[in-house]
Amino acid sequence: MGKALEKIRILDMTHVQSGPTCTQILAWFGADVIKVERPGVGDATRAQLRDIPDVDSLYFTMLNGNKRSVTLNPKTEAGNRIFARLIEACDVMVENFAPGAIDRMGFPWEKIQEINPRMIYASVKGFGPGPFEDCKVYENVAQCTGGAASTTGEIDRVPLVTGAQIGDSGTGIHLVAGILAALLHREKSGRGQRVTCAMQDAVLNLCRVKMRDQQRLAHGPLKEYPQYPHGRFGRAVPRAGNASGGGHPGWIVKCKGWEDDPDAYIYVITQAQAFPALARVIGHEDWLEDPDYNTPEARLPRLEHVFSEIEKWTMTRDKMEVMATLNPLNVPCGPILSMKELAAEPSLRGAGTVVEVDHPERGPYLTVGNPIKLSDSPADVERAPLLGEHTEEILKSVVGLDDDEISAARAQGAI
Ligand SMILES: CC(C)(COP(=O)(O)OP(=O)(O)OC[C@H]1O[C@@H](n2cnc3c(N)ncnc32)[C@H](O)[C@@H]1OP(=O)(O)O)[C@@H](O)C(=O)NCCC(=O)NCCS
C-alpha cells in the first residue's frame, strides 16, 4: 500500500522547530520533503545543544527525519534560478523565517503564484496581522503571549512555561492541517493558496478552555479552581496549579517514594461516576452517605480535603500500583512518567512512537516517531539527512541541471 502523501513534493524552507515539525509530519505521511539549507551552515539547530562534537545535534536530527537536504542560497544569481525551478516542481512550500525573509530573497507570494499557480505556500510567524507582526518569536514568547503562561503555574507564584512545545511544535501541527486542507481544495479549484498560522494564535487555540473560564468568571467564582472557596479571584483567569481544566476535578498526588523520586506522583481525576469506587478503595466508604461528599457539587468546596485523603492512600503505593488498582475501577488517572521511563516504555516502542534510527555520524539515536497512525500507510521513520546530502541528486532529478551547471552553481557559492 502506498503512502498517503506519495507524489506530493514539499519545498522545505524551515528552520529551528515549528516549521521542521510540520514538514517532518508531511514526510512521515510519504511526501518528498526537500529541505533547503544555507550552503556551509545549514539549519542553525544542526549546531545547537550538541551532545557530540561536530555531529548534527539531536535537536536537528529529531526534527528532520525522512527529509532530503539540499544546500542552496537563493540570494545568488544561480541560486535564485534554481529556487524558481524548485517552486515550479513542488506542490507545497513551507517556511518559518522572520517576517519578510522570503520576500527579501526575491520571492513574494505574488511571484510564487506566478511561477506555480498550484503552489500552496505555508508560513509560521510569531504573530498575525497587528502591532507585533514583524516580531521574531521563539517558543516561550508564544507561550507567554498566547495565554499559556498566565494560566500555568502555582497559585500566586510566577507564570510558568510548559515543557510541551506548544508554540513551536503546536503551531507546526496546526500548519499541517492547513496544508492538507489546501491540498484537498486544490483538487477542486486547481489553484494553490496561502496558509498561515501564527504561534500566538495556535497557543491560544490550545488554551481555548482558559478563554472559556475567562467568560465564566464574569458570572462568579470558578468553583473547580483551588482558589475556591477561600481564595480571591481577580479579573483574569488565575493560575490553578494542577487543577483539571475539565468538568471533573483532578490533582497530582504523591505516591510511595516521592521523597527521593521527583516523578513519584500520579494524576487522579474524581470523575463523578467513578467516585464511589474511588472512595471505597481509599477507605472512605463514609463519603457515600455523607451529604458533604456524596455529590460533585458538595465536594467542590472540599476538594483540598478530598485530594489530601486520596494522597494518604496513594502514598502507601508506588505510582504503577496505584494505576493498576484504579484503572479497573474506571478511575481516570495517570502516573507522572519521566523521559527516562518513556524512552524505555515497550508499548511506545511497539507502536512506533519511540523509534531508534541509525545515523552515519552519531550512530543510533532515539526519536519520537509519527504520533498520527494511518492504517493503510504507516510511517517508516528514517534518520535526518546530513547537510547537503542530496544536493546533486535533487539538482539533477528535480531541477534538471547537468554536471557543468552544477559546477558553475558551486563556483558561485549558490549551492
Ligand atoms: C525563529 C526566528 C526567531 C529565528 O530568527 P533568526 O535566527 O534571526 O533567523 P531569520 O529568520 O531572521 O533568518 C535569517 C536570515 O537567513 C537567511 N537565509 C535563510 N535560509 C537561507 C539560505 N538557504 N541561503 C541564504 N540565506 C538564507 C534569511 O534570508 C534571513 O536573512 P535576512 O534577514 O537578511 O532576510 C525567526 O526565524 C522567526 O521569528 N520565525 C518565525 C516564527 C517561528 O517560526 N519561530 C519559531 C521557531 S521554532
The average confidence (pLDDT) of the chain is 97
- Hey, whose CA ends up nearest to atom 44 of ligand 1? 96
CA–CA separation, 247 and 372 (whole Å) = 27
- Ligand 1 centroid distance, CA of 92 (Å): 19
- Hey, whose CA ends up nearest to atom 25 of ligand 1? 73
CA–CA separation, 205 and 208 (whole Å) = 5
Average pLDDT over residues 283-309: 97
- Ligand 1 centroid distance, CA of 170 (Å): 19
pTM value? Answer: 0.97
Kindly state if the Cβ of 70 falls inside 6 Å of ligand 1. no
Beta-bridge mates of residue 253: 266
Confidence of residue 158 (pLDDT cuts 50, 70, 90): very high
Residue 357 has pLDDT above 90, yes or no: yes
Kindly state if the Cβ of 98 falls inside 6 Å of ligand 1. yes
Q: Is 169 exposed, middle or buried (0-12, 13-18, 19+ CB in 10 A)?
A: buried
Is 103 annotated as catalytic? no
b/e map 69-83, b = 16+ CB within 10 Å: bbbbbbebebbbbbb
pLDDT computed for residue 281 by the predictor? 98
Q: Is 131 exposed, middle or buried (0-12, 13-18, 19+ CB in 10 A)?
A: exposed
Residue 242 has pLDDT above 80, yes or no: yes
Q: Is 345 in a helix, a strand, or coil?
A: coil
- Hey, whose CA ends up nearest to atom 30 of ligand 1? 101
Residue 1 has pLDDT above 80, yes or no: no
pLDDT computed for residue 246 by the predictor? 85
Residue 245 has pLDDT above 90, yes or no: no
Residue 21 has pLDDT above 80, yes or no: yes
CA–CA separation, 242 and 12 (whole Å) = 39
Kindly state if the Cβ of 41 falls inside 6 Å of ligand 1. no
Kindly state if the Cβ of 94 falls inside 6 Å of ligand 1. no
160-190 pLDDT per residue, tens: 999 999 999 999 999 999 999 999 999 999 9
Confidence of residue 195 (pLDDT cuts 50, 70, 90): very high
The widest CA-to-CA distance across the chain, in whole angstroms, is: 87
Grid coordinates representing 365 are 539515536
Residue 231 has pLDDT above 90, yes or no: no
Q: Which of 168, 286, 376, 404 is catalytic?
A: 168
Grid coordinates representing 258 are 516521592
- Hey, whose CA ends up nearest to atom 20 of ligand 1? 38
pLDDT computed for residue 217 by the predictor? 96
DSSP state letters, 86-148:
HHHH-SEEEE--STTHHHHTT--HHHHHHH-TT-EEEEEESS-SSTTTT----HHHHHHHTTT
Average pLDDT over residues 110-131: 98
Pocket-testing residue among 97, 171, 175, 199, ligand 1, by greatest number of atoms within 8 A of Cβ: 97
Please indicate whether residue 156 or residue 281 has the higher confidence score (pLDDT): 281
Grid coordinates representing 178 are 492547513
Q: Is 138 exposed, middle or buried (0-12, 13-18, 19+ CB in 10 A)?
A: middle
Residue 33 has pLDDT above 80, yes or no: yes
**Distance (Å) of CA 44 to CA 13, 48, 282, 372, 410:** 13, 7, 53, 27, 21
- Ligand 1 centroid distance, CA of 316 (Å): 52
Kindly state if the Cβ of 21 falls inside 6 Å of ligand 1. no
Confidence of residue 11 (pLDDT cuts 50, 70, 90): very high
pLDDT computed for residue 142 by the predictor? 98
pLDDT computed for residue 249 by the predictor? 96
Neighbour tally for 189: CB within 10 Å: 11
Residue 102 has pLDDT above 90, yes or no: yes
Kindly state if the Cβ of 137 falls inside 6 Å of ligand 1. yes
- Ligand 1 centroid distance, CA of 82 (Å): 20
Residue 26 has pLDDT above 80, yes or no: yes
pLDDT computed for residue 388 by the predictor? 98
Q: What percent of the chain has pLDDT over 90?
A: 98
- Ligand 1 centroid distance, CA of 5 (Å): 27
- Ligand 1 centroid distance, CA of 284 (Å): 59
Kindly state if the Cβ of 312 falls inside 6 Å of ligand 1. no
Taking the CA of residue 139 as reference, the ligand 1 atom at the shortest distance is 46
365-401 pLDDT per residue, tens: 999 999 999 999 999 999 999 999 999 999 999 999 9
CA–CA separation, 113 and 120 (whole Å) = 9
- Tell me whether strands 32-37 and 265-269 are parallel, antiparallel or unpaired: unpaired
Which amino acid appears at position 144 of this protein? C
Kindly state if the Cβ of 17 falls inside 6 Å of ligand 1. yes
